[in-house]
Amino acid sequence: MKTKKRVLISLLTALASLSTFSTDIYLPSLPELTVYFDTTVTASQLTLSVYMLGFALSMLFCGPLSDRYGRKSVTLGGLSLHLISTICCIFAKNIEILIIARFFQALGGCCGTVLGRVIARDIFKEKDCIKVLSYLSAGLSISLAFAPILGGFLQAFFDWHSSFVALAILSCLILVASFFLLEETLPHQMRKSHKLKSLFKNYYIFIKNRHFLGYTLAITFTWCGYFSFISGSSFVFINLINIKPQDYGIIYALIITGYIIGTILASKLAYIWSSRQSVFFGSFLALVGSLLMLILTLTFPPNVFNLLFPMFFYLIGTGLIMPNAQAVVTNPFPELIGSASSLFYFIEMLFGALAGGFVGMYLKNSPTPMVVAIVVSSIFLFISTYKMIWKKNLLSQEN
């Protein structure tokens, strides 16, 4: 691989990872936020759910904006907003200000998540794109593993502010690197101006397309299960199982290795299996992992193994599903990739926020609400994948 391509993939990985890094680095600090701001678990968890809501709303527009103004300018604007909002998080005086700052942090952070993958679609063909998206997912999974470890040690030796200081430094570095290294991938002659009416008309056309809807549901329900775990795991491990914040980060990283394995499998299987096959097998693994978690939770007292081992398998399935589904979901709309990407990310994040909100409201003295949310998400994932993707292709013999 040429050096220029490696640099590009590294930058795209950083762009795609910034939003999840913004969430995972302060997960070990969530229980302390409850004490520091003298608030409830539900209010602390809102810093996660509101982030997902802002993420979802922004995704409706950053794709179409990139179709009109180009990928680079929208990416730089989003990164700037993310940096300013992160600084506001550092100086938040109450939980309400932190929640609002997190909302605007998401509005900016989502641009890198969407456009990092859109830029990959601009440059690479489908099979190569799956491999590149797998590299992005592998890099993302490494950041997912590293962020809570870093956050756990920052929390142990400093306090919750330090995680946002580290995040502000990272955001600034990515902004500077994008300014100097990122090239525009959408020529002026291919740019499209979207009126609001035509924009929502396009969204309606996307939703009616069975291919788009099937893969969007696969992405959405996969994320719902994973975000349910993100929303509740720090409270479960730290408050219920009495794990130290730095140990929680290490446990979380061990679980994320399942995602790394899944993305590696996705890359290796890209030229052997179709995306349809990988997504269906991934949904099966996710269902098995979640059901095993439910059985262990209902049978034994809360402990690390009951959650770690099943979630590991769930994330192997997630690593298979995400790069494959993201690589092909917009295939029916090659001239509207940005708009189509915005819609499926909006749906994914909106339902993820709802799942996280459910966990935040009902998570008290048992991990059961979190586990139930993961199981329900996995059931919907498997059923929708079978009916919308697998069964349809069996009948039509279409890839």
- Looking only at Cα atoms, what is the longest distance across the chain? 62
Q: Write out the chain's pLDDT in tens, 399 residues.
A: 577 777 888 888 888 888 888 888 888 888 899 889 988 888 888 898 899 888 888 877 777 788 778 888 889 999 999 999 999 999 999 999 999 999 999 999 888 877 887 787 777 766 667 677 777 766 776 777 788 889 989 998 888 999 999 999 999 999 999 998 888 777 666 666 656 677 778 888 899 999 999 999 999 999 999 989 988 888 899 888 988 888 888 888 888 888 888 888 887 887 788 888 899 999 999 999 999 999 999 999 888 889 999 999 999 999 999 888 988 888 888 777 767 877 888 888 889 888 988 888 887 788 999 999 999 999 999 999 998 888 765 444 444
The tokens for 188 are 């002026």
In angstroms, the CA 13 to CA 15 distance is 5
Amino acid at 322: M
Residue 387 CA from chain centroid, whole number: 24
Q: What is the pLDDT of residue 399?
A: 42
Q: Which residue bears the tokens 């990407």?
A: 341
Domains and CATH numbers, the chain: 7-180+197-396 (1.20.1250.20)
Residue 117 has a pLDDT of 77
**AA identity, residue 222:** T
- Cα(361)–Cα(189) distance, rounded to whole angstroms? 49
Contact 25, 234 (CB under 8 A): no
